Structures are given as structure tokens and as C-alpha cells.
């Protein structure tokens, strides 16, 4: 990408500003400025992608999954002994059934 950009900027400089569109003419006159513009534009694109793509993914994992699971566990933890006893019985029966099916 960088070598191709440098080649394009060098070819624009050879043509001269009169053969280019008005938008590209300043870059042909000053190839270093043109290359700097390309590098800064690429850095801007990478920065946006990192902010939206990577940070957005981490934010989704932290907010939706971790906090969502915390809310579910909080609803399960009622503090009533009867609820814990029923869960223990069902889990014990479930473990017995699964182990009997596997053997």
C-alpha cells in the first residue's frame, strides 16, 4: 500500500499539476506533502477501525456478556434456603442421570 502510494505520487509529480485534477495538483507539486497526506489518512482509517472494531468488541463482551451473566446470577441468588435445596436436588438427579447414560 505504501509503495504503491509513493509510486502514484511520484507519477503525479512527473505529469505536473496542469495535467491533474485540482484536488490532486497540490500533491503533485509537493510529493512529500502528498505522501504525508496518504499516511495520515491511513492512520485515521486504522484509528477509526481500532476504536469501533476492537474497542466495540471489548465493550460488547464486557457490558453484554459479563454484566448480563451477573444479572442472571443475581436473580438466582434469592437467599431463600428452599430455592437452594431444590436446585441441589435437581442438579444431583441430573448428574446421576447423565452418569448413568454415559456408562
Q: Give the chain's domain count.
A: 1
- Residue 4: its pLDDT value, please? 75
Q: Are 28 and 15 in contact (CB under 8 A)?
A: yes
Taking only the tens place, the pLDDT of each residue in 12-66 is 666 655 666 666 666 666 667 777 777 888 888 888 888 777 888 888 888 888 8
Write the Ramachandran bin of 77: left for phi over 0, alpha for psi from -120 to 50, otherwise beta. Answer: beta
Q: Which of 77, 5, 103, 9 is nearest to 45 (CA)?
A: 5
Top pLDDT among 15 and 87 is at 87
85-92: average pLDDT: 93
CA distance 103 to 100: 5
Q: Quote the domain boundaries for residue 64.
A: 2-102
Amino acid at each position: 500500500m505504501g509503495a504503491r502510494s509513493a509510486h502514484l505520487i511520484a507519477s503525479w509529480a512527473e505529469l505536473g499539476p496542469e495535467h491533474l485534477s485540482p484536488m490532486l495538483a497540490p500533491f503533485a507539486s509537493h510529493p512529500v506533502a502528498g505522501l504525508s497526506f496518504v499516511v495520515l489518512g491511513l492512520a485515521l482509517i486504522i484509528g477509526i477501525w481500532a476504536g469501533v472494531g476492537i474497542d466495540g468488541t471489548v465493550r460488547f463482551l464486557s457490558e453484554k456478556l459479563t454484566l448480563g451473566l451477573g444479572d442472571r446470577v443475581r436473580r438466582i441468588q434469592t437467599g431463600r434456603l428452599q430455592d437452594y435445596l431444590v436446585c441441589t436436588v435437581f442438579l444431583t438427579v441430573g448428574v446421576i442421570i447423565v452418569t448413568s447414560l454415559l456408562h
